[in-house]
Amino acid sequence: MQTLLLLHGAIGAIDQLEPLANELNPYYNVHMLNFPGHGGEEFAEEPFSIALFAQHVLAYMNEKGLNEVNIFGYSMGGYVAMYIAKHYPNKVFKVITLGTKFHWDEHIANRETLMLDPHQIEIKVSYYADTLKQRHGHNEWILVLQRTCEMMLEMGKNNTLKKEDYTNIYTPVLLLLGDRDKMVSCEETLIVYKELSNGQMSVLPNTPHPMEKVDTSLLSFFIKRFI
């Protein structure tokens, strides 16, 4: 049975991926992990970054004796998976991403961080604030948001993966995008797809960005077909 590692998105945790894991458990040896600071995981001393999260994944694989895995990454988790495929190709069989934002500049970073103000979240979407408190901790959720904002702003200044990096990824990759995703554009996904030497791309119908609104049966179908 092949191993499949599921990676969550920014300010997310493995609880978001449990319905997908349940769909895939009969077919794969499924693993999930929380990135540092997420879902009760201890914070690292250094700031959030794609490189930090990638090292956390590699440390988890080493701890579990996983030499090479398939990776599904949702949103930021997909970016981490692509980073690993670029820098540690011997660790990955295949990569599947969903709703991963590949293009970052200062304007985009500033726009995205405006939506991560904990004070505004508590006022305007208190139910979501409660979800984040339960997911990360009553006080820790604010630090998760702050560090995520700092990471996004840094990516806006210097995007971790450049266009030419995708040309040098030889791992088989499937890029998935929801047709109703308002965060990730089809154009930026197409740009990456065209640079990949061994890439595929598919669009999920009636699918917005939030993982909770994704049809897990449909998503698992695409994952199984690709692997």
pLDDT at 211: 96
Q: Where are the domains of the chain?
A: 3-103+162-226
Least Cα distance to 82 among 219, 211, 189, 224 occurs for 189
pLDDT at 168: 95
Quickly list H helices, the chain: 18-24, 50-64, 76-87, 106-114, 118-124, 126-136, 140-157, 163-167, 186-195, 216-226
Non-local (6+) Cβ contacts of 180 within 8 A are 206, 207, 208, 209
Least Cα distance to 176 among 131, 148, 218 occurs for 218
Quick: pLDDT tens for 78-112. Answer: 999 999 999 999 999 999 999 999 999 999 999 99
pTM of the model: 0.96
CATH topology of domain 3-103+162-226: Rossmann fold (3.40.50)
The C-alpha atoms of residue 41 and residue 64 are separated, in whole angstroms, by: 17
- List, in sequence order, every residue forming a beta bridge with 74; answer none if it has no partner: 98
> Would you give the end-to-end CA distance of the chain in angstroms?
12
The C-alpha atoms of residue 198 and residue 209 are separated, in whole angstroms, by: 25
Three-class DSSP category at 198: coil
pLDDT at 68: 93
User: pLDDT per position in the chain (227 positions), as tens?
Assistant: 999 999 999 999 999 999 999 999 999 999 999 999 999 999 999 999 999 999 999 999 999 999 999 999 999 999 999 999 999 999 999 999 999 999 999 999 999 999 999 999 999 999 999 999 999 999 999 999 999 999 999 999 999 999 999 999 999 999 999 999 999 999 999 999 999 999 999 999 999 999 999 999 999 999 999 99
Q: Do the Cβ atoms of 60 and 80 come closer than 8 Å?
A: no
pLDDT at 217: 97
